[in-house]
């Protein structure tokens, strides 16, 4: 009898857990769709901005304009901007980011610990880095769950100032790129210096009349305004990408947890019914045995 009570208690506990995981899955799914819409709306804007910048960089003879954000120099000091979540229940989402941070940190360790600046956007990567003994230059925990262009502009502006002043020589981003609900790709890419090689290839492949623009104001002024905007937008897109991937990872994790709970509930119900049937059979045998004894 005590065994039946134990199984019944476990069954009720698993059913309660299933309700929680199912609710979390639906909430995360709604958040993912909202973040995904923002991400999809950012891509056309990014592409349009690139199409505007392309003709400003190139002419028939090649690259004619430069930007202070394109200057490559020997790396003596590097900044790493890593994006994670503030909460758990996302599978290995945060662990993967921390491992990539450690890998990048090891790669630049010859520069000295004081020359590797980590900017943590998310509580999990902050705790993971500190646990590994990595010093965090700055954190943006209050912005981690709700990405906004204003916050991205603030972070990007401080990084651009450090870069142009020569205090840092390279900036790298570590985040998850969203491809689908079950596919998030851990990505590491440079933010500074800007690599315009792809833009140059795209520009040279265009016909001359497509690049024949009348510029107002002059080309240099436009570059000074648009290139920083590209950097700010890239940082903002990476943050939205990371948040969308986080929600997708939580949807997957909660779906797996719900499916496991369903299997366990089925097993417990089967075991409970078998034991209850056995108990009923035993009681019937006791009754029949008592009746025979009385005769």
Which pLDDT does position 62 carry in this prediction? 53
In a domain, 260, yes or no: no
Element at 269 (helix H, strand E) = helix 219-294
Q: What is the CATH number of the domain that holds 221?
A: 3.40.1380.10
Q: What is the pLDDT of residue 198?
A: 57
What is the average per-residue pLDDT within 159-174?
A: 93
> Residue 143 and residue 65: Cα distance in Å, rounded?
35
For residue range 101-144, what is the model confidence (pLDDT) as tens digits? 999 999 999 998 889 999 999 999 999 888 888 888 888 888 78
Q: State how far the Cα of 221 lies from the Cα of 295, in Å rounded to an integer.
A: 111
Share of the chain above pLDDT 70, in %: 88
Query: Using an 8 Å Cβ cutoff, are 185 and 264 in contact?
Result: no
Residue at 62 is within a domain: yes
**228 found inside a domain:** yes
- pTM metric for this prediction: 0.84
Answer yes or no: are the C-beta atoms of 65 and 57 closer than 8 Å.
yes
Residue 157 pLDDT greater than 70, yes or no:
yes
Structural domain harbouring 54: 29-251
How far apart (Å, rounded) are the C-alpha atoms in residues 104 and 244?
23
Residues 242-256: tens digit of each pLDDT: 999 999 999 999 999
As for how many domains the chain has, the answer is: 1
5 domain-assigned = no
The predicted pLDDT at position 200 comes to 55
Whether 20 maps to a domain, the answer reads no
What integer pLDDT is reported at residue 140 of this predicted model?
A: 85
* Least-confidence region, from 150-154, 211-215, 248-252: 211-215
Please state, in angstroms and rounded to a whole number, the distance separating the CA atoms of residues 21 and 257.
Answer: 7
For 246, the token pair is 């986080």
- Separation CA 80–CA 101 (nearest Å): 8
Quick one: what percent of the chain has pLDDT higher than 90? 49
Greatest CA separation found in the chain?
A: 115
pLDDT for the residue 211: 53
């Amino acid at each position: 009898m005590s065994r039946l009570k134990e199984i019944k208690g476990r069954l009720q506990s698993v059913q309660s857990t299933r309700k929680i995981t199912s609710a979390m899955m639906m909430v995360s799914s709604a958040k993912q769709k909202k973040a995904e819409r923002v991400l999809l709306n950012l891509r056309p804007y990014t592409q349009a901005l690139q199409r505007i910048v392309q003709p400003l960089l190139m002419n028939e003879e090649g690259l004619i304009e430069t930007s202070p954000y394109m200057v490559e120099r020997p790396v003596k000091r590097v900044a790493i901007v890593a994006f994670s979540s503030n909460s758990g229940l996302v599978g290995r989402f945060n662990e993967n980011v921390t491992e990539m941070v450690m890998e990048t940190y090891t790669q630049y360790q010859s520069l000295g610990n004081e020359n590797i600046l980590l900017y943590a956007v998310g509580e999990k990567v902050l705790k993971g880095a500190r646990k590994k003994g990595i010093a965090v230059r700055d954190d943006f925990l209050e912005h981690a769950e709700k990405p906004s262009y204003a916050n991205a502009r603030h972070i990007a502006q401080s990084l651009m100032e450090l870069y142009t002043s020569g205090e840092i020589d390279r900036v790298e981003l570590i985040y998850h790129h969203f491809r689908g609900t079950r596919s998030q790709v851990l990505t590491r890419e440079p933010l500074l210096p800007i690599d315009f090689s792809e833009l140059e290839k795209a520009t040279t492949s265009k016909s001359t009349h497509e690049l024949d623009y009348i510029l107002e104001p002059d080309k240099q002024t436009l570059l000074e305004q648009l290139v920083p905007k590209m950097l700010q937008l890239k940082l903002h897109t990476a943050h939205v990408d990371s948040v969308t991937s986080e929600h997708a990872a939580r949807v997957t994790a909660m779906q797996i947890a719900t499916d496991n709970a369903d299997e366990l509930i089925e097993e417990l119900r089967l075991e409970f019914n078998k034991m209850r049937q056995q108990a009923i059979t035993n009681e019937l045998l006791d009754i029949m045995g008592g009746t025979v004894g009385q005769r």
